[in-house]
A and B are shown apart, each in its own frame.
Chain A
Amino acid sequence: MSTAKEILLQVQDLQVSVEGRKILNGLNLTVAAGEVHAIMGPNGSGKSTLANVLAGHPGYEVTAGSVTFRGENLLELAPEARARAGVFLGFQYPVEIPGVNNVYLLKAAVNAARKARGLEEVDAFDFLGMVREKMKIMRMDDSFLSRGVNEGFSGGEKKRNEILQMLVLEPALAILDETDSGLDIDALKIVAAGVNTLRSPERACVLVTHYQRLLDHVVPDVVHVLVRGRIARSGDKALALELERRGYDWVAGEAA
C-alpha cells in the first residue's frame, strides 16, 4: 500500500452488537482509493454485519470504535446521506419493492445524490440513455427498466440489478455483499465485468465473498479473513487461494 493514496475508509476497533449480542469485536480495516479488498470468512462471522453497519442499517448498535469515510465520521451520517456521499451497499439479499419501477428508483437515487451536491435533476432522456448503456454491460434487457424493483427477479437477476445500480450511481466506495453467490458461470463474468468497469484510481471496492472464482476475475489488492467479528488475517491475493485449499479452520485455529 502506498501512503500517497487517499484513505477512503478507515475502520478502527469497531464493536457492534445486535439485540445485545456482540457480533463485531474490535474490527480494523483501512481501504485506500484505487484498492479492491476481499473479505472472506465463515458463515456468521460478521461480514454482512460489517457491510450493513457501514451503510447505516438501523438494526445494529455500534458500541465502540470509529469509522471515517474520506476523513469524516461516517457513523454520524444517516444512511441516505452516506449513499449520497458515495458509499454503496450491494445487498446479499436484495428486497423486492412491488410496483415501483426499477428505473424510477434509479432516477430517484441519482437525483437525491445530485440534489445533495446542489445539481439539477437529470434530464429524463439523457438518463435513460445512460441507464441503457449500463444495462448492456450487465446484459439486462429493456423489460428490467419497467419491472418492479427486484419483483419476481431470479436470484442472479437481482444480483445483476445491484451491480447495475452501482454502475449508475458510480459510488466512491462500493461494498458488495456476496454479489457472486447464486450466479451461474456466465452471470459471474458479467458481474465481474461490471465491477471492473468501475475500478479506477479514485474508487475502492470491498468484496464480501466465499469463492475464489470471483477473485479470478476481479483481482483483489488485499484479502482479509473475518473470524468471530474481527480480521484474523490479511494478505494479498495468494491468501484467498490458500483459503480455498486449506479452509477456514486453519485461520480460525490460529486466531483463537
Chain B
Amino acid sequence: MSEPANESARQLEGLLSGSYRHGFVTQIDSDTVPPGLDEDVVRLISRKKQEPQFLTDWRLRALKHWRSMPEPHWAHLKIAPIDYQAISYYSAPKSKKDGPKSLAEVDPALLATYEKLGVPLHERARLAGVAVDAVFDSVSVATTFKERLAAAGVVFCPFSEAVRTHPHLIEQYLGSVVPYTDNFFATLNSAVFTDGSFVYVPKGVRCPMELSTYFRINALNTGQFERTLIIADEDSHVSYLEGCSAPMRDENQLHAAVVELVALENAYIKYSTVQNWYPGDAQGKGGIYNFVTKRGECRGARSHISWTQVETGSAITWKYPSCVLRGAGSIGEFYSVATVNNYQQADTGTKMIHIGADTRSTIISKGISAGHGQNTYRGLVKMLPSAHGARNFTQCDSLLMGGECGAHTFPYVEVKNPSATVEHEASTSKISEEQLFYCLARGIAAEDAVNMIVSGFCKSVFKELPMEFAVEAQNLLAVSLEGAVG
C-alpha cells in the first residue's frame, strides 16, 4: 500500500476504535442463530424482519418444497459437498459490528487488487466490508438521491423495507417470475432470504438516474441469500446496476440469490452486473459458490428486458439470466462476458422462452478461459407454439489462453412454431502469437497487449454497459486475467 493510504488507514482505525468496546464475540452471539435449517429458523427470520403473514407462509411452503428436492449435480462443475445444516441462516454478517474494523484487518491481497483498480481509499474500505458509515458522509449523497427518486415516484429501497411499505406489490409480484418451486437454490432462497433490493417504476416514468447498488450498500448490508424484485410498470424505463461496487467478501461459501424482473407493456428494464466476488486463491482454495437465479418476464406487449453481465469472480458461477417473452413483440437480450482463471469454474448462459408472437431475442456470449479455468456456456432458446414469427440470434465465442483451460458450449434449441427462426453462431479461438507479436512490435507491453486483445474480443458486450461500468469492467478483466500471459 502506498504511504498516504497507510496514513489514512491508521486514521480510520483511530476513528473507529472507540466504538467497539463491546467486543466481537458478544455481538455475534446476539445476531446469529445457530446453524441448521427448520421451520423455527424460517419463522425467526420472518419475525426478525417483521413480515406480514402471507410472506411467512410463502417461506414455509418454500422450505417444505425444498426438503423434497434433490440437490442438483452438473456434469461440468466440480463442487465440494455443501452441508446445508452447517450454515447459519440468519446473521448480520456484514453489519458494522462483526466486519473487519479497519483496513489493517483486511486481507492485503484484496487491498492490493483494489489499489490496482484505482479504487479510492474510502471506497476500498467499504468494499472490503469495513464499517465506515460512521466516518464517511455518504448519508447526504444517499438522501439527495432518494429525494430525486421520490419526486419521480420511483420506489427504490431494501427488500425488507418494501415488505413493510409496499406489501401489496410484494404480494402481487414476489415469486411471479421465479416461483418458490423453481429450482433447488431458488427454493432455498425463497425460504431463507434475508434482504435485497426492491424497485418499482410507475407508469410512464423514466427513472431519472441509473439505480446502483452503490447507494443501497451504504444503507444496508446484504447477506448471502439476496432477493431482488424490479417492477417496471407500463411505458416506464429503468437501468439497474449491480455488482462491482459490492464484491462482498463472504466468509461463507454459498451465495444463492434470486432476481426477478417484471416488465409491463412497453416497459424497458436494463440490468447490468459486474460480478467480482472472491474467486479463491491461485491453488483453487476458498472462494464463493455463486448460484444465482435471475429471470425477467416481458409480461406486456413490446416490453424489453436486457441483461448484461461481466463475470470475473467467484470460484464457481452458476447462473442463467433469462427472459420469458410473453408480451407480443417483446424483446429479450443477454450480453455476457465470463472469465475463468486459475481453478475457477463458470457455467453460465441464458434461457430465452418465446411465448408471444413476434418476440425477439439476442444472445451474445463471450467466454474467456485461462489457467486451469473451465468455462461453460449453456443456453436454451425455446419457441412455443404461440410464438409466431419469433426470432432469435445467438453468438457464442470462446477465447482460450494457454493449454490447461477449457471452453464448452451447450446450445439447446426447441422450436415448436414453424414460423420462428433461430440462428446460432459459435467460435473458439486462442490469442494468437501473431496478434501478440504485432502489439509487441508496436512497443506495447505483453500484459497490456493481452488485455487489449481480450477487451477487443469482449467489445460487443462492453458496449452494452453504462459508461463508468465499462471502464471498471475492463479493469476487472485485466486484474482477473493477471498472470495468464504466456
The chain B residue sitting closest to A79, CB to CB, is B440
Given contacts A95-B438, A108-B448, is CB(A83)–CB(B453) below 8 Å?
Answer: no
Segment of A41-49, A55-63, A197-205 engaged in the interface with chain B: A55-63
User: Within 8 Å of chain A (Cβ to Cβ): is B170?
Assistant: no
Given contacts A108-B448, A108-B452, A112-B445, is CB(A79)–CB(B437) below 8 Å?
Answer: yes
Of the candidates B432, B434, B440, which one forms a contact with A80 in the assembled complex, judged by CB atoms under 8 Å apart? Answer: B440
User: Within 8 Å of chain B (Cβ to Cβ): is A15?
Assistant: no
Task: Determine the interface band of chain B, counting residues with CB < 8 A from chain A.
Answer: 20 to 34
Verify B452–A100 contact, CB threshold 8 A. yes
Q: How distant is the Cα of A56 from the Cα of B437 in the complex, in angstroms?
A: 9
Verify A148–B437 contact, CB threshold 8 A. no
Q: Which residues on B sit within 8 Å (CB–CB) of A82?
A: 441
User: Within 8 Å of chain B (Cβ to Cβ): is A78?
Assistant: yes
User: Within 8 Å of chain B (Cβ to Cβ): is A113?
Assistant: yes
Verify B435–A97 contact, CB threshold 8 A. yes
Verify B457–A98 contact, CB threshold 8 A. yes
Complex interface residues of chain B between 15 and 48 (CB less than 8 A to chain A): none
Question: A154 to chain B: closest CB distance in Å?
Answer: 18
Verify B455–A55 contact, CB threshold 8 A. no
The chain A residue sitting closest to B448, CB to CB, is A108
Verify A80–B443 contact, CB threshold 8 A. yes
Complex interface residues of chain A between 34 and 93 (CB less than 8 A to chain B): 55-59, 78-80, 82-84, 88-89, 91
Given contacts A58-B433, A59-B433, A97-B435, is CB(A79)–CB(B453) below 8 Å?
Answer: no
Q: Which residues on B sit within 8 Å (CB–CB) of A88?
A: 441
Q: How distant is the Cα of A109 from the Cα of B457 in the complex, in angstroms?
A: 19
Complex interface residues of chain B between 431 and 486 (CB less than 8 A to chain A): 432-435, 437-446, 448, 452-453, 455-460
User: Within 8 Å of chain B (Cβ to Cβ): is A94?
Assistant: yes
Interface readout for A99-115 with B: 1 if CB under 8 Å, 0 if not? 11000110011001100
Verify A113–B440 contact, CB threshold 8 A. no
Verify A116–B443 contact, CB threshold 8 A. yes
The chain A residue sitting closest to B443, CB to CB, is A83
Q: How distant is the Cα of A84 from the Cα of B455 in the complex, in angstroms?
A: 23
The chain B residue sitting closest to A171, CB to CB, is B443
Q: How distant is the Cα of A91 from the Cα of B433 in the complex, in angstroms?
A: 14
- If A83-B443, A99-B459, A108-B444 are given as contacts, then 17 extra A-B residue pairs at C-beta distance below 8 Å, sorted by A number, are A78-B440, A80-B446, A83-B441, A95-B435, A97-B453, A97-B456, A98-B459, A99-B457, A99-B458, A99-B460, A100-B456, A109-B442, A112-B442, A112-B443, A112-B445, A113-B443, A165-B442
Listed by A's residue number, 29 A-B pairs whose Cβ atoms lie within 8 Å are: A57-B437, A57-B441, A58-B437, A59-B433, A78-B440, A79-B437, A79-B440, A80-B441, A80-B444, A84-B443, A88-B441, A89-B441, A91-B438, A94-B438, A95-B432, A95-B434, A95-B438, A97-B439, A97-B453, A97-B456, A98-B456, A99-B457, A105-B442, A108-B452, A112-B443, A112-B444, A112-B448, A149-B438, A169-B442
Residues of B within 8 A of A (CB): 432-435, 437-446, 448, 452-453, 455-460
